[in-house]
């Protein structure tokens, strides 16, 4: 299954996945609003060099977004938040969103989100995206990929554990999780083989 960096993909392919990318972060809907609201807030601030697109033939059917080196998939700025929610509420929501973003910089290379449409599931697209993600990590000198999955998302946990991710710890999201009723998450990690170990 082909996978390419979205910054190198044709614009029409980026347009095909922009809605999927912005629909993530549903656990923060109390801050970012519903799916349509998240699209308005985030769509114009996507860093396409932090998004991989997975294809079934020539059709985009999945994506993986990631963070490293102080750059993630979104840089929306404060203006969309003020336009959407007004002055005080916009600043407050933007600040809370940035707190949630900053919390993840604890990890070096972080899998921000991965999604495969139904038509691409069980076709190897998710596995291809994880393989390409490993290549991105290694090419940027990271030996570990970290991610978080909600404790009640058993399908995602099984998928990542099948692909070599190991549970490290459970996080209750501290005060942010309690304030906004965000469920606990499990931190998973995969240690990558050194490139020299991959050579015959």
Nearest partner of 116 among 158, 159, 147, judged by Cα: 159
Residues 114 and 62 sit within 8 Å (Cβ to Cβ): yes
Start-end of H helices in 43-146: 79-85, 87-103, 125-139
Predicted TM-score (pTM) of this structure? 0.90
pLDDT in tens, 170-195: 987 665 556 666 778 899 999 998 76
Q: How many whole angstroms separate alpha carbon 15 and alpha carbon 46?
A: 11
Q: Where are the domains of the chain?
A: 3-198
Q: For residue 170, what are its two tokens? A: 């459970």
pLDDT at 174: 60
pLDDT in tens, 44-72: 999 999 999 999 989 999 999 999 999 99
- The share of the chain scoring above pLDDT 90, in percent, equals 72
CATH H-level, domain 3-198: superfamily = Gcn5-related N-acetyltransferase (GNAT) (3.40.630.30)
Task: Give the chain's length.
Answer: 200
Q: How many whole angstroms separate alpha carbon 98 and alpha carbon 164?
A: 30
Q: How many whole angstroms separate alpha carbon 162 and alpha carbon 57?
A: 25
Q: For residue 154, what are its two tokens? A: 């058993």
Residue 198 in this model has a pLDDT that exceeds 90: no
């Amino acid at each position: 299954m082909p996978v390419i960096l979205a910054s190198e993909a044709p614009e029409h392919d980026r347009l095909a996945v922009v809605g999927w990318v912005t629909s993530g972060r549903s656990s923060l809907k109390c801050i970012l609003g519903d799916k349509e609201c998240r699209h308005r807030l985030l769509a114009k601030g996507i860093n396409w060099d932090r998004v991989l697109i997975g294809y079934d033939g020539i059709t985009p059917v999945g994506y993986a977004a990631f963070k490293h080196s102080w750059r993630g998939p979104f840089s929306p700025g404060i203006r969309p938040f003020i336009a959407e929610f007004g002055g005080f509420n916009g600043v407050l929501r933007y600040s809370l969103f940035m707190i949630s973003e900053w919390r993840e910089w604890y990890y070096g290379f972080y899998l921000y989100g991965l999604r495969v449409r139904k038509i691409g599931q069980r076709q190897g697209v998710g596995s291809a995206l994880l393989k390409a993600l490993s290549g991105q990590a290694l090419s940027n000198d990271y030996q570990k990929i970290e991610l978080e999955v909600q404790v009640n998302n058993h399908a995602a946990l099984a998928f990542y554990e099948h692909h070599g991710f190991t549970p490290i710890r459970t996080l209750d999201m501290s005060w942010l999780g309690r304030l906004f009723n965000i469920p606990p998450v499990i931190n998973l990690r995969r240690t990558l083989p050194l490139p020299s170990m991959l050579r015959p």
